[in-house]
Every structure is written in structure tokens, then in C-alpha cells.
């Protein structure tokens, strides 16, 4: 696939790569992980100063009006640097809901806080038995006067422990797996009845299990149609999957570089193990897997603008399948070629492996998306 960046996009890539190379080496990441909430407010402020938090928002909302390619560029860079700050949860997911479904009042209220870095979000969607189906929702939102009362539990809410606002999916009518009767709500994280239990995840990020008990919100908390929110949820989820694919490509790219450098310097029998042809073949196979993932990530990025929701979803699912296969291969080979040291907390390569593993299982694993592709008739169906 021929994919040339424009001059502005190349400058963006240089800018974000430069910022992260200066401020986000492995030691800095470990330090940031120990800060309150598990990430650096100072670095988040730098991302805001560079305009990276405002990229996807319309100029009329105070943003830069950038598209999916610019988000891909940023997410690749974040993947290379193993950034733990909540860009996905806040800019991609929350920003996506506001851009595609938010009212003028909601955009005016929430988007400026995202752009200037003063507010972060969490997406409370996953439930105990829902697996990856976005329409499997037990949490309820019942009408009370002009507002709503939300009850239920959500699990593994990324940035849920630190978020100022939660975007919550809740059932307004119907049965657990009905595809209608689902609404999307903006809930202040400190609202009465919201209980958060935060914890670090295996890849260095932070999440929370959240309970909603008689949480009252106003009519202005609803994003879009409270009885037909699934199309909006699916669109934003696809954009998040595209972003995750780009992040995985960045992480795989750096994993391959780290591994090649290691086998060039690690000696056995008096020579560098990288001189062994069998290991050279492994590195070559890792490169092929990386480029396959990169191509599908680019394809999914282009598909984000498809008008046909079915075509978009099929393209994104296919990308998630290939990226999932590639990241598993690249991640496992990286660990094996590093040997025992690759399993230690001190080795950077192990952190890439953990992050890649989490990406593969976020918003649908490889098997789930392979099923989506087959049920949708494939890319040409």
C-alpha cells in the first residue's frame, strides 16, 4: 500500500516523536507510573501545549480539524514510547462521542477541557458477562422527571480511577442483548452514587471497576438518542480500534528494533547471536508481520471515513485480526530472542509485550473480530 504523508503530517510526526524522545524514555515512564493516578499530569500538559489533545476536534470547537491519519500518527508515536497517559480514553473515545453525537451545548461544555488538558474521561462500557458485544448491556437508565437514574456495574474502565467525567452506556428499555434501547450518558465521576475501585493493569495503565447506585443525571447528560445509541457506540468503538491498531504498530516497530539491537550485541560461543542464520530468519519474519499489520492499520484508518457502516466495520475488524496475529507473533518472538532477561521488569521489551497483549484483548480479540469479518461476508461481502 502506497501511503505518503503530506508535509503537514510529516511535521506532526516529527513534532510528536521529538516531544516523546525528549520526555518519555523508559526511566521516565517508570517514574510516571508511580505518580498519583499512574500517569504524568505535566506530560499531559505538554501534549495539550503541542495541540495534540485538540487534533480531531473541529476548528469551530477550538480544535485543529485533523482527521484519522493524524490520529494514527500520534497513536503510533504513543505506542513506540509506551505512553500511559489517557489519550485513547479521553481524546479518541470521549472526543469521538462528543464529535459525532454531542449537542452544541455538550461540545461547548466538555471539549475545551479536553483540548487544554484540564479534564480527562473514562468509557464505562464493559460489564461482567458482556464479553466484547457492545449491545450486551444490563446497566439501566430509567426516566425520572426530565432526567435519568442510572444503576449498574461497569468493569475495567480505562482511566476510570482518575477521570473527571464518565461516558456510560446504559439500557433505557428492552432486554439485555437487544440492539435497541441503549443510551449513552455523561456522568460526573464524583456524582452521588458513583463508587470507583481503581487498580493498575498488567500493561502499566490504570483502570477501575465502577458501581452506579441511583445516580441521577439531567436530560442534558444524554448523548444522542437515548433509545438508539448503538450506532454511535459502534462508530466510536471502531475509531478506538483503529487507534489501537496504530498504537500496536508503533509498539511492534520499537519491539523489533530493540530485539535486532539485542541480538547484534548478545554473544554466545564467542559471536553475536544475530550472526546465526536461524535468528536472522526469525527477525525477518517479525519484520514481515510488522509490515502486514502496518498495511492493515493504514487501511483501517482510511476506512474510518467510509459512509457505509457495514463496510467500515468489516475493514476495522479485518485490521484488528491481522494486527492481533502480528502483535502476538512479534511480541512472543521478541521475548524468546531476548531469553530470560525479556521476562524481567527491568527489561523494556517485556513492557511492550504486555501492552501488545492488552491491545489484542481490548474492544474485541482476534477470534471475535475474525467472526465479525466472516459474519459480514468478508471485506468484499
pLDDT along the chain (381 residues), means of 10: 83 96 92 91 96 98 96 98 98 99 98 98 96 97 98 98 98 98 99 98 96 99 98 98 99 97 83 81 96 97 91 96 98 92 87 98 97 74 47
How confident is the model at residue 380, as a pLDDT? Answer: 46
- Sheet strands (E) in 117-176: 121-124, 140-144, 147-158, 165-171
For 272-287, the pLDDT digits (tens) are 777 778 889 999 999 9
How confident is the model at residue 58, as a pLDDT? Answer: 97
For 194-211, the pLDDT digits (tens) are 999 999 999 999 999 999
- Sheet strands (E) in the chain: 121-124, 140-144, 147-158, 165-171, 182-188, 194-200, 206-217, 222-223, 267-268, 271-272
In the predicted model, what is the mean pLDDT of the chain?
Answer: 95
d(CA 287, CA 106): 44
How confident is the model at residue 269, as a pLDDT? Answer: 79
Best CA proximity match to 245, nearest among 364, 375, 100, 126: 364
Provide the Cα torsion 312, 314, 318, 323; round to 10°.
40
Q: Which domains does the chain have, with CATH numbers?
A: 7-119 (1.10.540.10), 122-227 (2.40.110.10), 231-375 (1.20.140.10)
For 308-318, the pLDDT digits (tens) are 999 999 999 99
Looking only at the bridges linking them, the beta strands covering 271-272 and 121-124 are unpaired
For 14-43, the pLDDT digits (tens) are 999 999 999 899 999 999 999 988 999 999
d(CA 163, CA 44): 13
How confident is the model at residue 205, as a pLDDT? Answer: 96
d(CA 228, CA 54): 28
Amino acid at each position: 500500500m502506497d501511503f505518503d504523508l503530506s508535509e503537514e503530517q510529516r511535521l506532526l510526526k516529527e513534532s510528536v516523536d521529538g516531544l516523546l524522545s525528549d520526555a518519555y524514555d523508559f526511566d521516565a515512564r517508570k517514574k510516571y507510573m508511580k505518580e498519583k493516578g499512574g500517569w504524568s499530569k505535566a506530560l499531559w500538559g505538554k501534549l495539550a501545549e503541542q495541540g495534540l489533545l485538540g487534533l480531531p476536534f473541529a476548528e469551530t470547537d477550538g480544535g485543529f480539524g485533523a482527521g484519522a491519519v493524524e490520529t494514527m500518527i500520534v497513536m503510533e508515536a504513543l505506542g513506540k514510547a509506551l505512553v500511559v497517559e489517557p489519550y485513547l480514553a479521553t481524546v479518541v473515545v470521549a472526543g469521538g462521542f462528543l464529535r459525532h453525537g454531542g449537542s452544541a451545548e455538550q461540545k461547548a461544555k466538555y471539549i475545551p477541557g479536553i483540548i487544554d488538558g484540564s479534564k480527562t474521561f473514562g468509557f464505562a462500557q464493559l460489564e461482567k458477562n458482556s464479553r466484547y458485544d457492545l449491545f450486551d448491556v444490563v446497566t439501566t437508565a430509567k426516566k425520572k422527571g426530565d432526567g435519568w437514574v442510572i444503576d449498574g456495574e461497569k468493569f475495567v474502565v480505562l482511566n476510570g480511577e482518575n477521570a473527571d467525567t464518565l461516558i456510560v452506556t446504559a439500557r433505557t428499555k428492552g432486554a439485555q442483548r437487544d440492539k435497541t434501547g441503549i443510551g449513552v450518558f455523561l456522568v460526573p465521576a464524583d456524582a452521588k452514587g458513583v463508587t470507583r475501585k481503581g487498580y493498575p493493569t498488567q500493561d502499566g495503565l490504570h483502570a477501575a471497576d465502577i458501581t452506579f447506585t441511583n445516580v441521577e443525571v439531567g436530560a442534558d447528560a444524554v448523548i444522542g438518542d437515548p433509545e438508539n445509541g448503538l450506532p454511535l457506540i459502534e462508530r466510536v468503538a471502531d475509531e478506538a480500534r483503529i487507534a489501537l491498531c496504530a498504537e500496536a504498530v508503533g509498539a511492534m516497530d520499537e519491539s523489533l528494533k530493540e530485539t535486532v539491537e539485542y541480538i547484534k550485541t548478545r554473544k554466545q560461543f564467542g559471536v553475536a547471536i544475530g550472526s546465526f542464520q536461524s535468528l536472522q530468519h526469525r527477525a525477518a519474519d517479525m519484520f514481515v508481520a510488522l509490515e502486514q499489520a502496518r498495511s492493515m492499520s493504514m487501511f483501517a484508518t482510511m476506512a474510518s471515513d467510509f459512509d457505509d457502516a457495514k463496510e467500515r466495520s468489516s475493514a476495522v475488524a479485518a485490521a484488528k485480526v491481522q494486527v492481533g496475529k502480528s502483535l502476538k507473533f512479534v511480541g512472543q518472538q521478541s521475548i524468546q530472542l531476548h531469553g530470560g532477561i525479556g521476562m524481567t521488569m527491568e527489561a523494556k521489551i517485556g513492557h511492550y509485550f504486555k501492552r501488545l497483549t492488552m491491545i489484542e484483548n481490548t474492544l474485541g480479540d482476534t477470534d471475535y473480530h475474525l467472526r465479525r469479518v466472516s459474519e459480514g461476508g468478508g471485506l468484499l461481502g
